[in-house]
């Protein structure tokens, strides 16, 4: 199975900050990398697929980059509604696996 490792596990940031979360795959996954946002008590919400394609309705302050094994999610200007946990996931082959999550907290 492909192991997905996110860093950091948590971070504290202020509204307006630029936030970067990284995700590393244990093997090559091409561009089959997705990002989700999850708020407490809710299902994950798809933000980005194919590394950098924004899901419909997702604000443009979210962006993704990378290829191969190393990927990044960037929030250009953190908003109050962005405080949540973020997960990466690969869809290169099955079993599809997720990272352990990065919790973005208010500083």
Partner 1 sequence: QVQLQQWGAGLLKPSETLSLTCGVYGGSFSESFSEYHWTWIRQSPEKGLEWIGEVNHSGSTNYNPSLKSRVTMSVDTSKSQFSLNLTSVTAADTALYFCASIPPPRGYSGYRFESWGQGTLVTVSS
* Chain positions contacting partner 1, by CB under 8 A: 31-32, 34, 36, 42-46, 49-50, 53, 55, 87, 89, 91-92, 94-101
Contact predicate 11/105, CB 8 Å:
yes
For partner 1, the closer of residues 45 and 61 by Cβ is: 45
Determine the distance from the C-alpha atom of residue 80 to the mean position of all C-alpha atoms in its chain, rounded to a whole number: 17
For partner 1, the closer of residues 17 and 24 by Cβ is: 24
State in angstroms the smallest separation of the CB of 76 from partner 1: 22
State in angstroms the smallest separation of the CB of 70 from partner 1: 17
For partner 1, the closer of residues 9 and 79 by Cβ is: 9
State in angstroms the smallest separation of the CB of 95 from partner 1: 4
Q: Which residue has the tokens 């990284």?
A: 22
The first and second tokens of residue 37, run together, are 């946002």
For partner 1, the closer of residues 42 and 81 by Cβ is: 42
In angstroms, rounded to a whole number, what is the distance separating the alpha carbons of residues 105 and 64?
Answer: 20
Q: In which order are the strands placed within the sheet that holds 10-13?
A: 10-13, 102-106, 85-90, 33-38, 45-49, 53-54
């Amino acid at each position: 199975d492909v192991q997905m490792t996110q860093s950091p596990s948590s971070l504290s940031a202020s509204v307006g900050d630029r936030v970067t979360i990284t995700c590393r795959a244990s093997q090559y996954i091409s561009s089959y990398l997705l990002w989700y946002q999850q708020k407490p008590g809710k299902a994950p919400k798809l933000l980005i697929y194919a590394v950098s394609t924004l899901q419909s309705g997702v604000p443009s302050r979210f962006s993704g980059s990378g290829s191969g094994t190393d990927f990044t999610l960037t929030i250009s200007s953190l908003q109050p509604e962005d405080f949540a946990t973020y997960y990466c996931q690969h869809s290169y082959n099955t079993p599809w696996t997720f990272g352990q999550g990065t919790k973005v907290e208010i500083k």
